[in-house]
Amino acid sequence: MARYARICEIEYELPAQVLDNQTLAQDFPEWDVEKIFQKTGINKRHIVAEGETASDLAFRACEKLFANSAISRDQIDCLIYCTQSPDYLLPATACILQHRLQLSQHCAAFDFNQGCSGFIYGLGLAKGFIESGQCKNVLLITAETYSRYINPKDKSVRTLFGDAAAATLIRASDEQAPCLDRFRYGSDGAGAQNLIVPMGAARQPLVAGQRPAEHEDESGNIRSDADLYMNGPAIFEFSMTRVPALFASLFDEQFSVEDSDLFVFHQANQFMLEALRRRLKLAPEKFITEFRHCGNTVSCSIPIALKEALGKGQVQPGKVITAVGFGVGYSWGGCVIRW
């Protein structure tokens, strides 16, 4: 009997601390509340408190999942943790979460460093583990705290990114056809410098007790080389080029755009998503957008959007969803989810 991987549950967690447009407008008087919303489509972002980490959010998202699903902790045989905000350089945060969540010691646990396409990559990994017979129940966790890397005087990124974690349960199922299908991936490291924290790792280590000098760009944003830098125009050009090509590769004579009931893309910002929707000629009612309340949450954005769409009744059993992630790396990935 065939065994296919299937998404069974999604839960997510946002930090309690809120950064709203009113606060940002006070910090950046040249941008009022309405201008910030028009540029981003975001009303507020959630930001971790002092001492709070991505794995703290991940833990709480998983606790929600266990509380709201029928699966027991000892049934999880693989924990996949997608983050660019690890607790430590080593060990892997996944191992720490395995212990903290009281999962079985027979549970595989590992991190992978991926950003905006991370959820798609994680689904592909989970599918591989399950459909090869290595695992039956995979807990895919995505968690990010980009706020730790953002200079508070850099409105180009501070207005966009929020912190979050999402926990997705993927289980083996005796379905008649794949529920996670048509995976496509791509990468182009030539664009690595366009979304990057230049200093802090092995290539450019930070010297203890020394903070790199801040500098101001032509738009008035202030940051240092230890802060997140985003080349907005380059990221937009990348997205307008790579995403349509990736999207087209998901379809053929056996599966057309019309066969997909819904489309969920990485929730980057309103301007980019609307440009992509128009470029791809997708109907607004089929195009999921759920980021006004949390901002761009990187690898968490697609599962958060799916969870919100589930709550609104947009995602129901039998629905076919085309999912696309893209961004930092450059990296991109897409797949089809049969709910």
* Rounded Cα distance, 3 and 180, in Å: 12
Partner residues linked to 168 by β-bridges: 10, 140
Specify the DSSP class assigned to residue 115: -
Give, for 336, the enclosing helix (H) or strand (E).
strand 331-338
Phi, psi of 196, deg, nearest 5: -160, 150
Short-list 314, 202, 327, 308, CA closest to 262? 314
Q: Which of 107, 221, 296, 335 is catalytic?
A: 296
Q: Say whether 194 is catalytic.
A: no
- Count other C-beta atoms under 10 Å from residue 122's C-beta: 26
The helix or strand, by DSSP H or E, that contains position 223, with its residue range, turns out to be strand 222-223
Spatial neighbors of 237 by CB under 8 A, at least 6 apart, are none
Q: Which of 133, 170, 167, 158 is nearest to 12 (CA)?
A: 167
Let me know if 116 is a catalytic residue.
Answer: yes
Say which of 266, 294, 300, 335 is annotated catalytic. Answer: 266
Residue 229, number of CB atoms within 10 A of its CB: 20
Buried b (16+ CB within 10 A) or exposed e, 173-196: beeeebbbbbbbebeeeebeebbb
H helical segments located in 69-207: 93-100, 118-131, 155-158
Q: In the structure, how many helices (H) and strands (E) does the chain have? A: 9, 16
| β-strand pairing of 44-46 with 18-20 | antiparallel
Active-site entry in 78, 82, 107, 116: 116
Pairing label, strands 137-144, 108-112? unpaired
Q: DSSP letters of 44-91?
A: EEE-PPTT--HHHHHHHHHHHHHHHSS--GGG--EEEEE-SS-SSSSS
Please identify every residue annotated as catalytic.
116, 266, 296
